[in-house]
Chains A and B, each alone.
Chain A
């Protein structure tokens, strides 16, 4: 099936630990995105990438890092520098400069 796969779906992290969320797409989309959503809040853009080996900071990039070594993959690392990491993380992809983006099912990160 074509789509966007995020893993893990649920992740618990101890304070001070880095964690990496995986995002893979087989839609042959050029652009990929990471958003964060807090309860009752809208989506906020963390990072995005329009092409392989290039990415830009979104509105809330501090405490996060990404890489785009392959077109299909855009992993997000939540570092210990992110002070409030508990949230719902959504990966998305689109054709470059597309009219719409499509989301994976999301990853729930909880700091314990």
Chain B
């Protein structure tokens, strides 16, 4: 089982649609969680951290369920500019070595006019 697994893509949606990305992680010792966005041939950029209580940033909502080891990202009213690959990232704390970030494979989103 992969340490971080995401929905296989790509997701093709019309503008204005609501789209949800799902991610599961295998190590219950994981301590912090993030969503990154990566445009084609560019570096990943932090989209948002994911907090236990859930958090929202404009059209984006992230949720964490520690019991189920599940993370989600919801994008409302999707825009053409949201087209990118979305990466689920988990920070696993390793004794004496600090944090180790583990990346999911990413889910590609394509928003069409």
Listed in ascending order, the chain A residues whose CB lies under 8 Å from chain B are 31, 33, 35, 41-43, 45, 48, 50, 56, 88, 90, 94, 96-106
With both beta carbons as reference points, the residue of chain A lying nearest to B108 in the complex is identified as: A40
**Complex contacts, A101 vs chain B, CB 8 Å:** 101
C-alpha gap A88/B98 in the complex (Å): 25
* Interface membership of B30, Cβ < 8 A: no
- What is the total of A-B residue contacts with beta carbons within 8 Å? 46
CB-based contact B97/A50 at 8 Å: yes
Q: How many of chain B's residues have a CB under 8 angstroms from any CB in A?
A: 21
Q: Is the CB of A105 within 8 A of B97?
A: no
- List chain A residues, Cβ under 8 A from B104: 42
Complex interface: chain B residues within 8 A of A97 (CB): 93, 98-99
> Is the pair A103, B44 in contact by a Cβ cutoff of 8 Å?
yes
- Of residues 25 through 50 on chain B, the ones whose CB sits less than 8 Å from some CB of chain A are 32, 34, 41-46, 49
Query: In this complex, what residue of A is CB-closest to B97?
Result: A56
Closest Cβ of chain B to A97, distance in Å, is 5
Contact across chains for B45 and A103 when beta carbons are under 8 A apart? yes
Contact across chains for A102 and B46 when beta carbons are under 8 A apart = yes
Q: How far is the CA of A43 from the CA of B87 in the complex (A)?
A: 10
- CB < 8 Å neighbour of A96 from B43, B87, B98: B98
One of B42, B49, B93 near A100 (C-beta < 8 A): B49
A11 to B93, CA, bound (A): 34
Q: What is the distance, in angstroms, from A15's C-beta to the closest C-beta of chain B?
A: 24
Question: Mind listing 9 A-B residue pairs with CB under 8 Å?
Answer: A31-B99, A42-B103, A48-B100, A50-B97, A88-B41, A96-B98, A97-B93, A97-B98, A99-B91
Question: How far does the alpha carbon of A66 sit from the alpha carbon of B45 in the complex, in Å?
Answer: 24
Of the residues B42, B46, B106, contact of A105 by C-beta under 8 Å = B42
Within B5-57, which residues are at the interface with A (CB < 8 Å)? 32, 34, 41-46, 49
Among candidates A42, A45, A102, residue contacting B105 with C-beta atoms closer than 8 Å: A42
CA distance A6 to B90 in the complex (A): 24
Docked Cα-Cα span, A97 to B99, in Å, equals 5
